[in-house]
C-alpha cells in the first residue's frame, strides 16, 4: 500500500513539473513579437548557416552564409527562396513554416499537448497538421525555442538549430517584402 502512495505522489509531482515547464514555454512564446537568431540548418546531411528574423505572425527573413547569397523571405502569404541564380516562390500555406510561424497555432497546440523530453536538455512537441509533420524544440532551462525539424515539400528531413536569440528588438518591416526575380 505504501508503494502505491509513493507511486501516486511521483505521478503527481511529475505531472506538476511538466505542467510548470509547459506554462513557462507558453509564457515565453506569448511575450515574443519578433525573434532574431543565428541558425544551422541540416538537410539530408548538407549543412547551411546564417541568421534570421521572425516577426509573428508568419513573417521570416533569413540570410544564408553562402556564396550564392541565398535568402528566404515570407511576407505572411508567400515564401520566396532566392539565390544569385534561382528564384522560387511558394504559397506559405503549403509549407511547414506556415505553422511554425503562426504563434497562435503553436500556443493553442502546445497548451493541449504532452511534453516530450530529450536527454534532460530539450523539450519537444510534435505537430501533425494538414499533411505537415514537424517537431519544435525548447531549451529545458530557459524555456525558449531552440529549433525545429520538418519534412520539407521534397520529403527531405530538415533540422534547424537556433543560437544567439534576441527577443523583441526593433526591426525594419520592409525586410519582409518579397524580393523580385532577377
Q: What is the pLDDT along the chain (182 residues), one digit of tens a residue?
A: 443 333 333 333 343 356 788 999 999 999 999 999 999 999 988 999 999 999 999 999 999 999 999 999 999 999 999 999 999 999 999 889 999 999 999 999 999 988 877 667 889 999 988 878 899 999 999 999 999 999 876 788 999 999 999 999 999 999 999 999 87
Cis peptide before 156 (omega within 30 of 0): no
- Are 125 and 118 in contact by the 8 Å Cβ rule? The answer is no
In order, the DSSP letters of 92-133 are: GGGSTHHHHT-HHHHHHHHHHSPPEEETTTEEEEEEEETTEE
Structural domains of the chain, ranges and CATH numbers in brackets:
24-176 (2.50.20.10)
| pLDDT at position 44 | 87
Q: How far apart are CA 143 and CA 162, in angstroms?
A: 13
CA distance 103 to 32: 9
3-state secondary structure of 50: strand
Which pLDDT does position 6 carry in this prediction?
32
Q: Given this model, what pLDDT does residue 120 score?
A: 78
8 Å CB contact between 106 and 29: yes
Output the pLDDT for position 114.
Answer: 83
Q: What residue has cell string 493553442?
A: 108
pTM: 0.85
Specify the pLDDT at position 18: 66
Question: In sequence order, which residues have a C-beta less than 8 Å from that of residue 37 and are 6 or more positions away?
Answer: 51, 52, 162, 163, 164, 165, 166
Amino acid at each position: 500500500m505504501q508503494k502505491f502512495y509513493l507511486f501516486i505522489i511521483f505521478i503527481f509531482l511529475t505531472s506538476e513539473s511538466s505542467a510548470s515547464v509547459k506554462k513557462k514555454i507558453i509564457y515565453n512564446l506569448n511575450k515574443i513579437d519578433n525573434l532574431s537568431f543565428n541558425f544551422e540548418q541540416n538537410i539530408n546531411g548538407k549543412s547551411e548557416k546564417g541568421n534570421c528574423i521572425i516577426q509573428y505572425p508568419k513573417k521570416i527573413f533569413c540570410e544564408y552564409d553562402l556564396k550564392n547569397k541565398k535568402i528566404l523571405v515570407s511576407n505572411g502569404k508567400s515564401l520566396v527562396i532566392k539565390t544569385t541564380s534561382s528564384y522560387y516562390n511558394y504559397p506559405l500555406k503549403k509549407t511547414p513554416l506556415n505553422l511554425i510561424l503562426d504563434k497562435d497555432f503553436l500556443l493553442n497546440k502546445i497548451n493541449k499537448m504532452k511534453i516530450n523530453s530529450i536527454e534532460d536538455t530539450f523539450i519537444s512537441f510534435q505537430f501533425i497538421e494538414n499533411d505537415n509533420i514537424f517537431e519544435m524544440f525548447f531549451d529545458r532551462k530557459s524555456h525558449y525555442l531552440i529549433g525545429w525539424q520538418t519534412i520539407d515539400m521534397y520529403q527531405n528531413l530538415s533540422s534547424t538549430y537556433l543560437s544567439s536569440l534576441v527577443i523583441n528588438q526593433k526591426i525594419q518591416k520592409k525586410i519582409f517584402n518579397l524580393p523580385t526575380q532577377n
